[in-house]
């Protein structure tokens, strides 16, 4: 893609081209060229937001298409695995289903171009790996894969906004308030180590040590949590306080995810955060089967292989980024 293609006078066309390029090369979202284009004209930002919305609306139809084209996907995988098949035939078969595969990777893919405009607000972000951050007050933050925060330390206040994903905080005591905002609510630190994780239309707070006060929405009463307690809220309403093993729930900081009797679909979704591509589970019935165990996040495909041996499924990676479970 040439530079002139990306600077076309039509903002909507340029936005779609930037979106396509970022999908292929996520690091482009952090490039000076993309940021200059985005900030050069208010219409550019608006056009990119519209392209982002189009992408998000396309995700569900693309997922349905991938499921409907299961047979074609299977034939493609089988064809690529048969070394004895003449190359010309393999190429014809690949071309016959390429559109379905590209759509599965591109539109329903693991990349999240919808986050790039949002991430321009971020002071710290992570891609498909966990990242350690030290704030100006020496507080420590661990960002899970695919996460971002904005930080505002001024006028004796310490405010952090979780833009997406999850962050674990180990707060340094300075005497100044420390508040984390997420999904319309806020978490005020009373001396603690804790995680805030975005989920569905709300957030979940897990305390490892100390205390926090969780307010699900402005004007609502605060709920206090202590060590090994967890609380979720959404749309201004808080659920029940639960007792948890916080070390187990927060083991992702050491590179592990732990499960007890959860659907395989959830495990696949979680492992997908640490995979530089898209993991597609085509069998919804398989996705509901329960999983227990501990898996390394640095090797998501190895984790799937281990699960496959126990649960009787296999996986195959095609086009470099698309891993299919069947």
- Do 321 and 225 belong to one domain? no
- Do 197 and 285 belong to one domain? no
- Do 245 and 273 belong to one domain? no
- Do 25 and 74 belong to one domain? yes
- Do 231 and 302 belong to one domain? no
- Is 129 among the domain residues? no
Residue with tokens 């100390």: 210
- Do 241 and 142 belong to one domain? yes
pTM above the 0.85 mark?
A: no
In sequence order, the β-bridge partners of residue 149 are 124, 162
- Do 107 and 60 belong to one domain? yes
Q: The domain containing residue 174 runs over which residues?
A: 134-249
196 contacts: CB under 8 Å, gap ≥ 6: 162, 166, 167, 169, 180, 182, 187, 203, 204, 205
CA 267, CA 275: separation in Å to the nearest integer? 13
**Angle, CA 53 vertex, CA 51 and CA 57 arms, to 5°:** 120
Domain's final residue, options 88, 116, 144: 116
Q: Is 225 left (phi over 0), alpha (psi -120 to 50) or beta?
A: beta
CA distances from 66 to 28, 58, 79, 279 (A): 27, 12, 18, 12
- Is 306 among the domain residues? yes
- Do 179 and 204 belong to one domain? yes
- Is 127 among the domain residues? no
Taking each helix axis from N to C end, the angle separating 32-40 and 42-68, rounded to the nearest 10 degrees, works out to 120
The pLDDT tens digits for 242-251 are 999 999 999 9
Intervals of the chain under pLDDT 70: 1-9, 23-24, 53-120, 318-321
249 contacts: CB under 8 Å, gap ≥ 6: 195, 206, 230, 258
Assign residue 278 the CATH number of its domain.
3.55.50.30
pLDDT at position 7 is 44
pLDDT at position 121 is 77
- Do 96 and 183 belong to one domain? no
- Do 17 and 94 belong to one domain? yes
Total number of domains constituting the chain: 3
Residue with tokens 């420390």: 178
Assign residue 176 the CATH number of its domain.
2.60.120.1440
- Do 59 and 148 belong to one domain? no
The pLDDT tens digits for 106-124 are 433 444 545 555 666 789 9
pLDDT at position 294 is 93
- Do 12 and 99 belong to one domain? yes
pLDDT at position 9 is 56
- Is 121 among the domain residues? no
């Amino acid at each position: 893609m040439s530079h002139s293609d990306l600077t076309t006078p039509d903002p909507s066309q340029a936005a779609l081209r930037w979106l396509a390029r970022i999908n292929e090369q996520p690091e482009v979202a952090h490039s000076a060229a993309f940021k200059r284009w985005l900030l050069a004209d208010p219409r550019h930002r608006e056009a990119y937001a519209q392209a982002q919305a189009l992408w998000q609306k396309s995700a569900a139809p693309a997922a349905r298409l991938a499921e409907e084209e299961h047979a074609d996907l299977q034939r493609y995988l089988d064809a690529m695995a048969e070394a004895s098949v003449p190359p010309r035939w393999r190429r014809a078969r690949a071309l016959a289903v390429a559109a379905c595969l590209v759509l599965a990777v591109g539109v329903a893919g693991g990349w999240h171009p919808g986050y790039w405009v949002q991430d321009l607000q971020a002071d710290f972000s992570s891609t498909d790996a966990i990242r350690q951050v030290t704030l100006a007050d020496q507080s420590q933050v661990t960002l899970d894969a695919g996460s971002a925060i904005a930080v505002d330390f001024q006028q004796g206040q310490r405010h952090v906004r979780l833009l997406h994903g999850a962050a674990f905080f180990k707060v340094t005591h300075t005497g100044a308030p420390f508040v984390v905002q997420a999904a319309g609510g806020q978490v005020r630190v009373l001396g603690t180590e804790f995680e805030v994780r975005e989920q569905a239309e709300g957030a979940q707070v897990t305390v490892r040590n100390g205390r926090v006060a969780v307010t699900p929405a402005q004007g609502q009463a605060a709920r206090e949590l202590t060590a090994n307690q967890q609380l979720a809220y959404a749309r201004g309403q808080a659920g029940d306080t639960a007792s948890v093993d916080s070390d187990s729930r927060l083991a992702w900081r050491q590179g592990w995810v732990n499960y007890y009797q959860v659907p395989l679909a959830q495990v696949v979704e979680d492992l997908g955060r640490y995979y530089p591509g898209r993991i597609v589970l085509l069998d919804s019935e398989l996705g509901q089967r329960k999983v227990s165990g501990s898996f390394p996040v640095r090797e998501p495909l190895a984790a799937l292989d281990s699960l496959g041996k126990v649960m009787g499924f296999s996986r195959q990676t095609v086009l470099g980024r698309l891993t299919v479970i069947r």
